[in-house]
Chains A and B, each alone.
Chain A
Amino acid sequence: MESLIQIIEGIAFAAGRLVAADEIREAIRVVSGQETVSVSDDEIAEAVGTLNERYERENSAIRIHKWADGYRMASIPAVANYLRAFFQEGPRKLTRSLMETLSIVAYRQPVSKPEIDNVRGVDSNYALRRLMELGFVSMAGRSDTVGRPLVFTTTARFLEEFGIQSLEDLPQLREADELFAEGELGAMHHEDLPTEVDPQDEEEFPITDDPSETQS
């Protein structure tokens, strides 16, 4: 009999997308021919934990992550440079106006376009449209306030593409006072002309892992 661990590993490997706990349960139910399956979320999480421990022990380049409300297999950062070279791609970044708009939606959701425009002091029509095309933001009905404006929220895809489980995992929004105390505002503008970081210099990954990790 296949173990839960094997089932999850197989599905996570082959799916090539985020897999929800319910989908794993459904697969087991169909195979077992039973009406219901009693595999809890915790058991699935535990099985994933066991897999990750094994990957780590074996110095594998693979881990299974929990992003948004599902699981997905991904390579470890240590081989990122090689994968970037292999796929011949540049750094993945969004423009500042997209990042600003996305942040406002993420922290203030559900939020209307006038509210976003007010924070940024500019029209956010293009940025919002682009974020919706990217699948990071979606419309979520209308607000009850005057004029009943459309409101926007972030999507599960946003969580997945940013590698976080839920909105609670976003970095805490800092108070302006805090930023001043740390000289962040000054720093933000005083460092003025940044030098570009050569991606080659950014991180140096050891080819071999710490040997102590192989024993366990």
Chain B
Amino acid sequence: MYEVRLSDFEGPLDLLLFFIQRDELDIYDIPIARITDEYLSYVRLLENIDLDGAGEFIYMAALLISIKARMLLPRSSPDGEDEIVDPRKELVDRLLEYVRFKDAADRLGLVLDSRSQLYTRNEPDDEVVEPAEDLEVSYDVSVFHLVAALRRVLERAEAEPEHLVRVTDYSVEEQREWLKENITSDEPVSFAEVVSNRSKRFIIATFLAILEVVRDGSFRLLLGPLNEDFYLARKSVADSDDLNVEN
């Protein structure tokens, strides 16, 4: 298992790239129908957990649907002369452009890394170079991996009959406290177990609370090899130095 730390949520283009990478799709020949369906199922989930920026995902979903519709139209031009533009072209161009800047961001990060090795006297008074809230250690693990795990847990929760008589609401704030009270060990515990036999509302509020406690550094998050579940553990000072591989 590997430890991850979440920084910020990723955008609609990242989600598309996530599918393309996962299924090893040809970016120049994206199976739009399949991607659109899968994209929509994620968007529904994102709406459910009310992540900030779900609107951007919905916008992308609409774009995918319109491309899918255009793909179904006859593809010959009336005069037979103009070159027919693939309805996916604009989206592909955007993805390619985005990939270039993702790469540029990675490499600029390396430039910053080498500069960070050089220490100067009297840093400018504002010392803003390393704002704690913007620190991150690893950003290669996508939040979509976690969302995928959440989806599996939610599907299971749905299958189980609910015996709740009264609907109880859970706030993210309450769930933060709940996590801190109930997870006291630095041994990783499974997310699926933590929320087993709980209502969907409980699961979603807990999931969001987990994102927060992991971000603020009080908990560590570990991903299993199959991305089917993830694990949560208290962060102790002692283990801050051997963060990585756990099995």
Which of A91, A174, A194 interacts with B100 by CB under 8 Å? A174
Whether A176 contacts B100 by the Cβ 8 Å rule is: yes
Query: Distance (Å) between the CB of B92 and the closest chain A CB?
Result: 9
Question: Contact: A198 with B121, CB < 8 Å?
Answer: no
A103 in complex: contacting residue of B18, B105, B245, CB < 8 Å: B105
A216 within 8 A of partner (CB) = no
* Total A residues in contact with B, Cβ cutoff 8 Å: 70
Cβ B137 vs Cβ A106 within 8 A: no
Q: Is B27 an interface residue (CB 8 A)?
A: yes
Question: Do A189 and B99 form a contact, CB below 8 Å, given A93-B112, A95-B134?
Answer: no
The residue that B108 contacts in the complex, of A87, A95, A106, A195, with Cβ under 8 A, is A106
Instruction: Give Cα A90–Cα B134 distance, bound, in whole angstroms.
Output: 12
Chain B contacts with A in 119-161, Cβ cutoff 8 A: 119-122, 124, 126, 128-131, 134-141
Cβ 8 A contact of B101, one of A92, A103, A163, A192? A103
Out of A99, A192, A198, which one reaches B241, CB within 8 Å? A198
Give the total of B residues in contact with A, Cβ under 8 Å: 66
Instruction: Kindly identify, within residues 1 to 16 of chain B, every residue whose CB is under 8 Å from any CB belonging to chain A.
Output: 2-4, 7-8, 10-14
Binary per-residue interface labels of chain A (90-132) against chain B in the complex, 1 for a CB within 8 Å, 0 otherwise: 1111111111101110110000000000111111000000100
A90 proximity list for chain B (CB < 8 A): 130, 135
Query: CB-CB < 8 A to A99: which residues of B?
Result: 105-106, 108-109
Closest chain A residue, CB of each to CB of B137: A196
Q: Which of A40-48, A74-82, A138-146, A207-215 contacts B (4 or more CB under 8 A)?
A: A74-82
Among B7, B53, B112, B120, point to the contact of A122 (Cβ < 8 A): B53
Q: Does B117 contact A (CB under 8 A)?
A: yes
Residues 179-211 of A contacting B (Cβ, < 8 Å): 179-180, 184-186, 188-198, 200
Given contacts A121-B98, A193-B140, contact A92 B116 (CB under 8 A): yes
Q: Contact flags (1/0) for A1-29 with B, using CB distance below 8 Å?
A: 00000000000010011000000000000
A168 at the interface (CB under 8 A from B): no
With a cutoff of 8 Å between Cβ atoms, the chain A residues found around residue B138 in the complex are 194, 196
Q: A95-B134, A193-B141, A194-B140 are in contact. Are A120 and B119 (CB under 8 A)?
A: no
Which A residues are CB-close (under 8 A) to B204?
Answer: none
The complex places the Cα of A102 from the Cα of B223 at a distance, in Å, of 29
Closest 10 CB pairs of A and B: A16-B122, A189-B21, A163-B115, A176-B96, A122-B11, A77-B117, A121-B13, A99-B105, A80-B117, A74-B118
